[in-house]
A and B are shown apart, each in its own frame.
Chain A
C-alpha cells in the first residue's frame, strides 16, 4: 500500500485496530423473546432473566451451567442445627452500578420487598418460608425460617431473588441497576439491549467489553442473521430444521443441551368443559407427542408425561399414562357427555414450538372431534390475555423455570388447577430437607398432576445453541434462563 500522507496511514491503522478490536472484545447474542421490562423481581417472563440475570443483577447464590447452586454475593453461609437459621457472609467491596455500596441492608431490603404482602414478585412462593431477615453487621445477614426449607439456597439462585438497592428500585424496569459484571447501556425496544462491561466489578472482570442482546423471534430472520454472521450466537435457535446445516458449516458450532422447559398444552381447568377431568384425559390421549417432536422440533425434545424435567433424578416417566389413543379419547369424550366433541380456542405465542406444535395439536384434536381454533398471539398479548387474563381454552408454552412443579399448588395460576391435596403436599415438601423424602414427595406430586391430567404434557424443550466457532463459554444446558455474557470469550 502506498499512503499519500502519514495521516491517511494513521487513520487506516486505527481503522484496522478498531475492526480487530470489535471481533475480539464484544459479542452479539440473540434470543427469541424480548422481555416486557428489565426488572427480574417484578415479572414472570423468563426473557427478563435471560437478559439481566448474572449480567446486570446477581443474587446471594447462583446456578452454574450444570445446574448446581454455588455462592455468589454470599461468600459463605452457615446453617443452624435445626435448619431454621441461615447466616450469610457477604462478599466484600461489592458496589451497585450507580456507585453505592451493596451491603447487608440491601439484602434485607431485597428479600423483605420480595416477600412483602404487596410484593409484585412473580415467584413470591420462593420466599414464603422466610420469617425474618436480620442485619447483624454490613457483611452479615441472618435469614430465619418458619420451618426448615430444603430449597432456600436453590430459591435464592433464581432471577427473582436478585439483590437490588432501595434507591434504584422504582426505575428497574427501564433502567436496571445491579451489582453484576455488566451495566445496562441502552434498550432499543423491538430490537436489542446493549450492555457494557462494569470496570469496577467486585469479582473477576470479564473478558468482553460490551455485549448486544438481540431479539429475533422469527425463525427465518434468525436463520438469515446467523448465516450472515450478523449475530455471534443464538441462545435457543427457533428453527430446528436448520441445525443440520449449521453442523455441516465449519463457521459454526452447535450445542444441543437440555433446558428446564416443560413444554405443555396448558388447559384452562376452570373453564367448561375442561373442568371435567375426563375431557382433560381425552385431550391427553388425543395428543401424539412423537408426531409433535418430529413435526415441530425435527426430533429435538424428550417426551414427558408430567411437569418435571427428565434429566432430574426425581423424574418419573409417566408418558405411558397419556399415550396416543384416539379411540380412548373419543370414548372419554362420550363419557363426558360430549360425544360430538366441542369447540375451543388454542392461543399460540410466537416460538416455533408453539406455532408449529399448535398446528399439529389442532389436527390431532380434530381427529377426536375437538375443534381448536388457532389464534396466533404476540408475546405481550399472550401474557396479557392468557397468563394474566386467563381468557383462553388451550395454549402451548414452555415453562422454563427450574423445578417449577410448585406452580400446580397455586390455584390462581393461569391454568387454574385447584387441588388442596397437592397444595398440602407442596407445603410439606417445602418443610422437608431430607433428600430421600423430598424425592418421594416430588414423585407423588408428579403422579398427582398426571392422574388429574391437569395439562397436556408434551416434551422437554431441547436447547439448541448455535454459536460462531471460536466463541467459548456459552451454556450448553439451561438450568435457568440465562445468557451469561461474563463467561464468554473469543478464542484467538
Chain B
C-alpha cells in the first residue's frame, strides 16, 4: 500500500486534509481538557456554592455556574473525562471482541463458524442499540460501568463486520497464498498478515464509533442511566439545565456545545483518516 504522501496533491485531497486538521484539533482540545482535569481544574467540580448559583459566564467562573453554584468549566473538563473514558472503553470492548470474531469468520469463510458469527452479528444489529443499552442499564442499574458495557456490546458487530469485510479480499491475495504454502496456520496468518493490513480500516471505524460512543453516553446520562451524580456528565448537565434554560441559557449551551464540538471533531477526524487510508479511495486517485 502506498503512503498518502506519494499522492500528488489535488483539490479533493487538500479539502479532506483540512477536515483532518480541524477534526484533530477539536478532538485534541477535548482530550487535553480531559487530561488537564486530572491535575488542575479552575475550581473543585464537586464543591457547591449555592449563594453563587446560576451565574452567567464571568471573570471568575469563565463559563458561569450551575444551579448548585458549581463551576461549569470545571464540570465540563471532568465531564470530558467521563465522556472520553466511556467512549474509549466501549470502543475497546468492541474492538477486542469484534476484531477476533471478524478475523475468525473471514479465515473460516463459508464454514458453520462464519455463519454463526455473522448471524449473531445480525441479531445484535437488529436491535436499536440505544434501546438495548437502556435495557441493560435498567436491569443492572444505572452506572458509568454499565453504560460502557452496553455501548461496548453494540460496537462488537460493527468491528466484526469491518474486520471480516477487510480480511476477505486479502485472503485471495498472493502474499497470503504464499504464507499458506509456507505452512502457516490460518490463525497465525490472520494475526501476522491480515490484521496489520486492515488496521487502517479499524482506526477509521474506531474514530467513528468513538464519536457515536460519546453521543450514546450523553444520551444515557441524559435520561439518568449513565454516570451517576456527583460524577459530572455532559448528558446529565444538559438534562438538569432543561427546566432552567429560560433563566440561565448557558447551563444548556455549554454542555451542548461540548458534545457537538467533540462529535463533529471526531467525525471530521474519521472522515479525514478514511480519505487518507481507505484503499478504495487511494486506488481511485492513483
Minimum Cβ distance to chain A for residue B68 (Å) = 5
- Cβ-neighbour of B229 out of A220, A239, A241, A359 (below 8 A): A359
Are B230 and A362 closer than 8 Å at their CB atoms? yes
How long is the Cα–Cα vector from A294 to B67 in the complex, in angstroms?
10
* Size bin of chain B's contact surface: 20 to 34
Please name all residues of chain A whose beta carbon is closer than 8 Å to the beta carbon of B230 when the two chains form the complex. Answer: 359, 362-363, 374
Are A219 and B243 closer than 8 Å at their CB atoms? yes
- B54 to A, closest residue via Cβ: A241
B279 is an interface residue with CB less than 8 A from chain A: no
Please name all residues of chain A whose beta carbon is closer than 8 Å to the beta carbon of B69 when the two chains form the complex. Answer: 295
How long is the Cα–Cα vector from A294 to B48 in the complex, in angstroms?
12
How long is the Cα–Cα vector from A362 to B67 in the complex, in angstroms?
16
A242 is an interface residue with CB less than 8 A from chain B: yes
A223 is an interface residue with CB less than 8 A from chain B: yes
How long is the Cα–Cα vector from A239 to B224 in the complex, in angstroms?
17
Known contacts A294-B51, A295-B53, A295-B69; is-contact A362 B229 (Cβ 8 Å): yes
- B53 to A, closest residue via Cβ: A295
Please name all residues of chain A whose beta carbon is closer than 8 Å to the beta carbon of B247 when the two chains form the complex. Answer: 241, 244-245
Instruction: Encode contact with A along B31-48: 1 for CB under 8 Å, 0 otherwise.
Output: 000000000000000111
Instruction: Encode contact with B along A211-242: 1 for CB under 8 Å, 0 otherwise.
Output: 00000000110010000000000000001011
Are A374 and B243 closer than 8 Å at their CB atoms? no
Please name all residues of chain B whose beta carbon is closer than 8 Å to the beta carbon of A363 when the two chains form the complex. Answer: 46-48, 68, 230
How long is the Cα–Cα vector from A291 to B47 in the complex, in angstroms?
12
How long is the Cα–Cα vector from A181 to B68 in the complex, in angstroms?
45
Are A374 and B229 closer than 8 Å at their CB atoms? yes
Minimum Cβ distance to chain A for residue B246 (Å) = 6
Please name all residues of chain B whose beta carbon is closer than 8 Å to the beta carbon of A376 when the two chains form the complex. Answer: 142, 224, 228
- Cβ-neighbour of A366 out of B46, B50, B239 (below 8 A): B46
Please name all residues of chain A whose beta carbon is closer than 8 Å to the beta carbon of B47 when the two chains form the complex. Answer: 363
B244 is an interface residue with CB less than 8 A from chain A: yes
Minimum Cβ distance to chain A for residue B117 (Å) = 38
A360 is an interface residue with CB less than 8 A from chain B: yes
Which residues of B from 118 to 155 have beta carbons under 8 Å from A? 141-142
Minimum Cβ distance to chain A for residue B123 (Å) = 29
Known contacts A360-B48, A363-B47; is-contact A239 B68 (Cβ 8 Å): no
- B51 to A, closest residue via Cβ: A294
- Cβ-neighbour of B243 out of A223, A295, A359 (below 8 A): A223
B199 is an interface residue with CB less than 8 A from chain A: no
Please name all residues of chain B whose beta carbon is closer than 8 Å to the beta carbon of A356 when the two chains form the complex. Answer: 67-68
- A373 to B, closest residue via Cβ: B228
Minimum Cβ distance to chain B for residue A396 (Å) = 13
Instruction: Encode contact with A along B193-236: 1 for CB under 8 Å, 0 otherwise.
Output: 00000000000000000000000000000001000111000000
Please name all residues of chain A whose beta carbon is closer than 8 Å to the beta carbon of B185 when the two chains form the complex. Answer: none
Are A295 and B246 closer than 8 Å at their CB atoms? no
Are A359 and B68 closer than 8 Å at their CB atoms? yes
Which residues of A from 447 to 476 have beta carbons under 8 Å from B? none
Which of B50, B142, B242 gathers most chain A CB within 10 Å?
B50
- A292 to B, closest residue via Cβ: B50
Are A295 and B68 closer than 8 Å at their CB atoms? yes
- A352 to B, closest residue via Cβ: B243
How long is the Cα–Cα vector from A291 to B52 in the complex, in angstroms?
11
Please name all residues of chain A whose beta carbon is closer than 8 Å to the beta carbon of B242 when the two chains form the complex. Answer: 219-220, 223
Please name all residues of chain A whose beta carbon is closer than 8 Å to the beta carbon of B50 when the two chains form the complex. Answer: 291, 294-295, 360
How long is the Cα–Cα vector from A220 to B141 in the complex, in angstroms?
23
How long is the Cα–Cα vector from A241 to B67 in the complex, in angstroms?
9
Please name all residues of chain A whose beta carbon is closer than 8 Å to the beta carbon of B142 when the two chains form the complex. Answer: 376
- B70 to A, closest residue via Cβ: A363
Please name all residues of chain A whose beta carbon is closer than 8 Å to the beta carbon of B224 when the two chains form the complex. Answer: 376
How long is the Cα–Cα vector from A362 to B229 in the complex, in angstroms?
9
Are B48 and A245 closer than 8 Å at their CB atoms? no
Are B243 and A241 closer than 8 Å at their CB atoms? yes
Are A220 and B51 closer than 8 Å at their CB atoms? no
Chain A residues with a Cβ under 8 A of chain B: 219-220, 223, 239, 241-242, 244-245, 291, 294-295, 356, 359-360, 362-363, 366, 374-376
A-B contact pairs, 28 of them (CB 8 A): A219-B243, A220-B242, A220-B243, A223-B243, A239-B243, A241-B244, A241-B247, A245-B246, A291-B48, A291-B50, A294-B50, A294-B51, A294-B53, A295-B53, A295-B67, A295-B69, A356-B68, A359-B229, A359-B230, A360-B50, A360-B68, A363-B47, A363-B48, A363-B68, A375-B141, A375-B228, A376-B142, A376-B228
The 10 closest A-B pairs by CB, nearest first: A220-B242, A295-B50, A239-B243, A291-B50, A219-B243, A359-B229, A294-B50, A363-B48, A223-B243, A295-B68
**Given known contacts A219-B243, A294-B50, A295-B69, what 4 new A-B pairs fall within 8 Å (CB)?**
A220-B243, A291-B50, A295-B48, A363-B47
